[in-house]
Amino acid sequence: MLRFVILILVLMLSIPCQGSDYRYYFGLKGGVSTITGGDGYKFPLNESFGGSAGYRFSDRWHLEFDFSIHRNLNDSTASSSLSFGGDDANATQKWKASRLGITLNKYLFNPDNSLNMHVGFGGGLMVWKIVEPVGDTAIDVLGVHNERTDFAATEIFVTARTGFDLTLSSKLALCWDVQADMLTGAGAEFETSVKDARNTWQVGSFLTLKYAFGGGSGGGWKSSGTWSQATVAAAGESSRQALDGDGDGVPDELDRCLDTPLGAIVNKTGCAIDSDADGISDGLDDCAGTDPRAAGMVDIYGCPIDSDFDGMPDYLDKCPFNQVGARVDSSGCPTDSDGDGVPDGIDDCPYTLYGVDVDKFGCIDLTDFSHPMVLNIDYPPGSFEVDPNNQERLRQLARILNFVPEIRLEISGYTDNIGTDVANQKLSEKRANRVRDYLAMHGVDISRIKVFGKGETNFVASNDTAEGRAKNRRIEIIFYK
């Protein structure tokens, strides 16, 4: 039996590599995976297995459906998520998941190569739950309405992968993949602290044995059928006798361009055609008909480059280095509706008051409320009226306070030591009340304001000089929530 199996493998490996001639394939996969990215859970690598089925709709592109099963133990003694296995005795939870995904993959090299690299993106559903290590009893947590619920969900994920395919025969290939799934939260209905603490990335590495079937792809290079017969006839030789070093369908003795890249469409003299003059030959150009203005600003596939991913190609983009996520106008420059310096699209507070300081997220900078506001008002003796300079400061304060209604404030009035204690106490109350009334006149709800008259207390300077007494005659505003 063993000799028979060895004989079959030898026969398969002796067949030329023509895997791209088959449209369909299925595979069996096995590998290791972990769930990571959260607080308080550590799931070392554990074995995973599954299967896949795919459809190759061109030499370089294929669509793959795959299913896999994952089991991981939360082992607090493991050094990291990249440790292997997990000790049942030290585990407090077990992650159980079934993954159903779909991925669009592209081969990066010539499809006739025995070794090829691919990249892919896609998504799917992850059906998962976290259970007790013994007994598989589901752990309960708080749900979105603070009810007790199983720590389980059917959740949407997005995935990215890369890897290599090694062709073993015309129908067999061995594939090694590394993939990362990001759990989006769609379908996971838990209380906020639970969602924040849970793991959101499943990362794995797999080996897949693929079997191809389902009819040949036909093909050959596009230019071969156009010129091969005519050029061979002109040379007076049969197609089997003509030498064609670069495989473009034009015999070497008639070929003026002997190093044409494989896959390029050529003219009768064997030179590559570039219809849109972007530097990428037809047949290798994924974006035929590119605007001539994009010359020199295309990628290796002949498509216009968009450095800042704003949807405006660099050759038309007047602002080619925008922050990723910013909304742009027809010239590719960011829009800023509220004029706060943070572009629309990444502005968490898109309707901020004009002229008000904001943080890096475009929201009002509340750090100014972390310390008291002091008004050194030049009161005439016995007066409690607010001077024009401080009126302007209070108008700006009221403007911001009306935009952040959660901020409350305490207004305290102070005097110098000239006069009696009783008189100064009443005067400080009048001064604090006048500031409160001024803010209320500009729209601040009076219920948000507390007023205190502190009289001749808490001096900040000496009362022996006029300058010191002026500093002691003041209003202090303290902010809180």
Torsion of CA 351, 353, 357, 359, to 10 degrees: -20
Predicted local distance difference test score (pLDDT) of residue 479 = 92
Predicted local distance difference test score (pLDDT) of residue 298 = 87
Predicted local distance difference test score (pLDDT) of residue 309 = 83
pLDDT in tens, 98-122: 999 999 999 998 877 889 999 999 9
Contacts of 53-56 with CB under 8 Å at 24 or more apart are 53/24, 53/25, 53/26, 53/27, 54/24, 54/25, 54/26, 54/27, 54/210, 55/23, 55/24, 56/20, 56/22, 56/23, 56/24, 56/25, 56/217
What percent of the chain stands above pLDDT 70? 85
Q: How confident is the model at residue 69 (pLDDT cuts 50, 70, 90)?
A: very high
Average confidence (pLDDT) over 342-366:
76
User: Which range has the worst mean pLDDT, 252-256, 295-299, 356-360, 467-471?
Assistant: 356-360
Query: In angstroms, rounded to a whole number, what is the distance separating the alpha carbons of residues 142 and 193?
Result: 9
Predicted local distance difference test score (pLDDT) of residue 245 = 82
Average confidence (pLDDT) over 160-184:
93
Residue 288 reports pLDDT greater than 90 = no
Query: Residue 223 corresponds to which tokens in the numbers above?
Result: 């230019």
Predicted local distance difference test score (pLDDT) of residue 20 = 55
Residue 127 reports pLDDT greater than 90 = yes
Q: Please answer whether residues 51 and 66 qualify as being in contact, where contact means their C-beta atoms are separated by less than 8 angstroms.
A: yes
The sheet with strand 408-414 has its strands ordered as: 373-375, 474-480, 408-414, 449-453
Residue 89 reports pLDDT greater than 70 = no
Predicted local distance difference test score (pLDDT) of residue 243 = 86
Residues written for the chain: 481
Cβ-Cβ contacts under 8 Å for 386 (sequence gap 6 or more):
375, 377, 394, 434, 435, 438
Q: What residues are paired with 176 via a beta bridge?
A: 164, 207
Average confidence (pLDDT) over 55-74:
90
Residue 314 reports pLDDT greater than 60 = yes
Average confidence (pLDDT) over 148-160:
93
pLDDT in tens, 386-403: 888 889 889 988 988 888
Amino acid residing at 295: A
Predicted local distance difference test score (pLDDT) of residue 29 = 94
Look at 231 and 21; give whichever has higher pLDDT. 21
Predicted local distance difference test score (pLDDT) of residue 11 = 40
Residue 58 reports pLDDT greater than 50 = yes
Amino acid residing at 195: K
Report the candidate in 211, 182, 212 with the shortest Cα–Cα distance to residue 198: 182
Q: Please answer whether residues 7 and 176 qualify as being in contact, where contact means their C-beta atoms are separated by less than 8 angstroms.
A: no
CA atoms in the 13 A half-sphere facing the CB of 6: 3
Report the candidate in 420, 439, 426, 423 with the shortest Cα–Cα distance to residue 375: 439
User: Which range has the worst mean pLDDT, 86-90, 163-167, 357-361?
Assistant: 86-90
- State the CB neighbour count (10 A cutoff) for residue 217: 16
Predicted local distance difference test score (pLDDT) of residue 57 = 85
Predicted local distance difference test score (pLDDT) of residue 283 = 84
What percent of the chain stands above pLDDT 90? 32
Predicted local distance difference test score (pLDDT) of residue 49 = 94
Predicted local distance difference test score (pLDDT) of residue 132 = 86
Cβ-Cβ contacts under 8 Å for 58 (sequence gap 6 or more):
none
CA atoms in the 13 A half-sphere facing the CB of 217: 23
Query: Residue 462 corresponds to which tokens in the numbers above?
Result: 């000496």
Task: State the average pLDDT for the chain.
Answer: 83
pLDDT in tens, 2-32: 454 444 444 444 334 445 568 899 999 999 9
**For the chain, first and last CA: distance in Å?**
80
Predicted local distance difference test score (pLDDT) of residue 181 = 95
Predicted local distance difference test score (pLDDT) of residue 7 = 44
